[in-house]
Amino acid sequence: MTDALDDIAAILERTGDYRVLRRLGPFVPPAAEPDEPTFVGLILDTETTGIDVTADEVIELGIIKFEYGASGRIYRVLERFNQLHQPSIPIPEAVVRLTGITDADVAGQRIDDAAVEALAAEARVVIAHNARFDRQMCERRWPVFVSRNWACSCHQIPWRAEGHEGMRLGHLLADHGRFHNGHRAIDDCEALLAILARPLRTSGRLAFTALLEAARRPTVRLWASDAPIALKDRLKDRNYRWSPRRRCWYVDLDEEQIEIERTFLSREIYRGTLPSGLPADRFTARDRFSNRADPEA
């Protein structure tokens, strides 16, 4: 039956009037012995009771542990981990609708903290598709994640420049002719691993190679202290964000962009006179996306 359905799908696609999405299965790397130094990485996803990183709880944790080379090639899946956890409150109805996880599913369930700590202990990098959220959720529960390097596959790969309209996992997967059971932790991990192992549309580089390069680069957060409120739209157009905690506009940049940005601020925002000692914070993968680096946390 599978062969017959594949034949039908191929006929539909050849017409040019149809696109057929095929269900994504577990990721199987191409058989190849590493010819370069290898490391251990984790793909991680959480399902939670809400989006407040200071108060909400993890109800499902999915992790895929894998071996990769410095080049970004993925060689082996080492372990898959997926567990549910009963939170201290009933799961909100909106979360049930999104994930399909019910109070009955998590009743009496608890994530094995020791197993999570062991998985994370040897990881060179932890990857999540929204690392700002997942990292802060995980650090609250499992301190081992505080000292790990993190990368964000959503925001550290130039998806739009590579020909993709959306950055959501489902959109990226559909662009590759696949679909999955979204908003379940291990399924999202499988989807992300499959996407990272593929070449990017425009550059042809492996997606994971691009992510590793971005994660390895230090970034600088430049603060536009005392910028005139009347010029906020100009800053927003330049991708500045507002920090309610510091009540200041900021932008994250690669180090080589700093002088270009200072020139822009001097000319367009401060009318030719750049304030002395304009604040700038330097981040690496060790603290990027954590609450230590989040101005809104």
Element containing residue 68 per DSSP (H, E): strand 58-69
* Three-state secondary structure call for residue 44: strand
The pLDDT of residue 29 is: 87
Structure pTM? 0.91
Say how far apart CA 83 and CA 38 lie, in whole Å: 27
The pLDDT of residue 1 is: 55
Say how far apart CA 276 and CA 208 lie, in whole Å: 39
What tokens does 156 get?
A: 């550290």
Q: Where are the alpha helices (DSSP H) in the chain?
A: 2-14, 93-99, 103-106, 113-121, 131-141, 169-175, 185-196, 207-216, 232-237, 258-264
The pLDDT of residue 297 is: 63
Check: CB of residue 23 under 8 Å from CB of residue 178.
yes
Task: Choose among 73, 60, 81, 70: nearest CA to 30.
Answer: 73
What tokens does 264 get?
A: 């822009």
The pLDDT of residue 30 is: 83
Pairing label, strands 280-283, 219-224: antiparallel
Domain boundaries, the chain: 20-216, 219-283
Per run of 10 residues, the mean pLDDT along the chain (length 297 residues) is 81 90 90 93 98 96 97 96 98 97 98 97 97 97 97 97 95 94 95 97 97 96 95 96 93 94 96 89 96 81
Domain with residues 20-216, CATH architecture: 2-Layer Sandwich (3.30)
